[in-house]
């Protein structure tokens, strides 16, 4: 079983609670709106990290807008805003689609594809929770868990 930590919408803030929740993950995926290079450096110091650029990441010219990751025999498509998805993930053989942008945590199955939004780990927006997620990949399938962060 491979455990992937999923984070999004940090907007320049890498909370210690997020770091703690992602500890022990085999890989980290940031689904955009990173905010500052220091956030990437903080994640990369903890585990191999894959990231995409979000709408606030004008500084991150080297990051792609989308990315396909193959891990543990599974195909994961990462995009910042799910509304911009322009292909059929099930038809393309994707097992998981990871998105951010909305700040709303989501775990949903559709046509055999797991859609995961970890929510926002950055500054709180409205009354939405601050959260990250764990994505579990293994021979038996895929699963995800949203981890709300306890803020002081």
The string of pLDDT tens digits covering residues 76-98 is 999 999 999 999 999 999 999 99
Question: Can you tell me the distance from the alpha carbon of 2 to that of 136, in angstroms, rounded to the nearest whole number?
Answer: 6
Delineate the domains of the chain, giving CATH numbers in brackets: 2-148 (3.60.21.10)
71 contact partners, CB below 8 Å, separation of at least 6: 2, 4, 27, 137
How confident is residue 152, by pLDDT bands cut at 50, 70 and 90?
confident
How confident is residue 118, by pLDDT bands cut at 50, 70 and 90?
very high
Question: Can you tell me the distance from the alpha carbon of 148 to that of 140, in angstroms, rounded to the nearest whole number?
Answer: 26
Task: Kindly state the average pLDDT of the residues 24-34.
Answer: 98
The pLDDT, as a whole number, for residue 126 is 84
How confident is residue 108, by pLDDT bands cut at 50, 70 and 90?
very high
């Amino acid at each position: 079983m491979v455990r992937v930590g999923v984070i999004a919408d940090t907007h320049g803030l890498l909370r210690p609670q997020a770091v703690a929740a992602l500890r022990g993950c085999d890989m980290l995926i940031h689904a955009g709106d990173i905010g500052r290079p220091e956030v990437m450096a903080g994640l990369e110091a903890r585990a191999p990290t894959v990231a995409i650029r979000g709408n606030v990441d004008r500084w991150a010219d080297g990051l792609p807008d989308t990315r396909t990751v193959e891990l543990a025999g599974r195909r994961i498509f990462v995009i910042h805003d799910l509304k911009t998805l322009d292909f059929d993930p099930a038809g393309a053989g994707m097992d998981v689609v990871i998105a951010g942008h909305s700040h709303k945590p989501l775990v949903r199955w559709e046509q055999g594809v797991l859609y995961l939004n970890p929510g926002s780990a950055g500054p709180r927006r409205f009354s939405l929770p601050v959260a990250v997620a764990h994505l579990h990949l293994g021979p038996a399938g895929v699963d995800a868990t949203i981890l709300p962060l306890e803020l002081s």
